[in-house]
Amino acid sequence: MRLIVLPVQGVRTDDPLGWGATITDRRAVGASVDSALEAEFRARGLTTSWALASDLARTARRNPTYASAPSEIRAGDAVRVLERRRDGEIPEPVATQLRTLAGFHDARYAMVPVEVRFEPGSGPGTGRAVLRVAMLDVRASRLTFIGDIGGPDAPAYAPSFPAGLALRFADLIVAR
């Protein structure tokens, strides 16, 4: 299935573990998750049919009067609206921005990493990063899927969490 993968839309810092409070640059954390996802997806050969965030950024730079930079598209906000109104359509201008980028890559779907958040882990004294992901059908302008992908448990926040999160996510799509 051909699809576009947008960059992480946000990082929540109001978690019960206090891990988010240690983050000084949310954009850098989002970018590190994007990089980890991209590396894992490339390693598994998904780039033949998937256009990743760096591919979308390159497309936008080459077509500045036509395509919006993927980091400027407020897809996370659109997904939150669609979560409340499941039968609604992707709101404008996000719908047009996504259709344009998807058109450049002959894709029908957009995968939107909506947010990274932190929550308690399965064991005592542990926590984990969770990535909320949505799949949008940009031609039909609909939300088709939304779900959470939990990373591995850890005893404390570590800047290396994106690799574990990316590994878990990629394992759901393609086996190693």
Total-model pTM:
0.92
Q: Which residues does residue 127 pair with via DSSP β-bridges, in sequence order?
A: 120, 154
For residue range 21-54, list pLDDT tens digits in order: 999 999 999 999 999 999 999 999 988 899 999 9
Eight-state DSSP code of residue 14:
-
Eight-state DSSP code of residue 159:
T
Handedness of CA 162, 83, 88, 11 (dihedral sign): negative
Residue 170, exposed/middle/buried by CB under 10 A (0-12, 13-18, 19+)? Answer: buried
What is the spatial distance between Cα 97 and Cα 113, in angstroms, rounded to a whole number?
Answer: 16
Residue 64, SS3 per DSSP? coil
Length of the chain: 176
Identify whether the C-beta of residue 8 lies closer than 8 Å to the C-beta of residue 34: yes
Position 174 scores a pLDDT of: 87
Q: Which residues of 35-71 are buried (b: 16+ CB within 10 A; e: fewer)?
A: bbbbbbbeeeebeeebbbbebbbebbeeeeeebbebb
Position 176 scores a pLDDT of: 76
Position 144 scores a pLDDT of: 96
For residue range 63-109, list pLDDT tens digits in order: 999 999 999 999 999 999 999 988 899 999 999 999 999 999 999 99
Position 103 scores a pLDDT of: 96
Which of the pair, 131 or 123, is modelled with greater confidence? 131
Position 27 scores a pLDDT of: 93
